[in-house]
Chains A and B, each alone.
Chain A
Amino acid sequence: MTGAILIGVAAGIVAGLLGVGGGVLFVPALVILLGLDQHQAEATSLLAIVPVAIVGTYTQDRYGNVRRDDALLLGLLSLAGAVAGVALANALSGEVLRDAFAILMVLVAVQLVRRASSDPSASQRSEESSR
């Protein structure tokens, strides 16, 4: 249980920092630490993400980083996709879903490495801090 709480804090920090990392950490934590099956873990992760996203958005909005019109449009347009995705997940077996999720985690890792090695603003910031 302590592990789950710590993972929660870590997932929140990474979500705020990188904009990724809520669910991609929640799902394996719920399976590995709390013993949920893959379907339950994914469903529970979605619910856990909501308060994190609300608070993260509120703080980012205070820094002036949120483009509200685009966010609202994106969010509302996602409804059909989200319902279809949930139906698809429930049509798949737990094993298939778990293996697909593991592949997803590796792809997210690859994407993070690519972003880290090509992000011009990050290298600019590192130059500034090294001066």
Chain B
Amino acid sequence: MAIGTLAGLFSGLFGVGGGTVIVPLLILWLGYEERAATATSLAAIIFIAGFGAAAQGLYGNVNLLDAVLVGVPAVGGVVIGTWLQQRLQTRLISLLFAAVLVASAVELVLQ
């Protein structure tokens, strides 16, 4: 219950799915292994992001065209990513992605 509520709050506040919160908590609190945690987290995110988007829609903040512009290509990406996850060890990718995030954070603040 705590995981769901926390993830929802986090997702609504930051506009992210909440996987950042859900995945480690499923692993640490419920003893999930990583693949089951990421998969179950994705399924929960359908609801979480759906609720959040609906609530943001009421504030008039949702830009439908831009959501399609990044969301539709991402659907293709997620199929590739899931396929790769069954075949690769993800350590190097995690480290690369961490570097990308730090660089983007700097860019975002400096803008």
Q: Which A residues are closer than 8 A to B by beta carbons?
A: 1, 4-32, 34, 36, 39-57, 59-61, 63, 65-68, 70-90, 98-113, 115-116, 119, 121-123, 125-126, 129
Contacts and interface: CB of A to CB of B under 8 A. Distances in A.
Interface in B9-49: 9-20, 22-24, 26, 30, 32-49
Contacts of A29: 70
B12 A88 contact: yes
Interface residues of B, number: 95
Contacts of B93: 14, 17-18
Contacts, number: 415
Contacts of B78: 12-13, 15-16, 52, 55-56, 59
Interface of B: 1, 3-20, 22-24, 26, 30, 32-53, 55-57, 59, 61-64, 66-86, 88-95, 97-99, 101-102, 104-109, 111
- Determine chain A's interface SS by DSSP, over half rule: helix
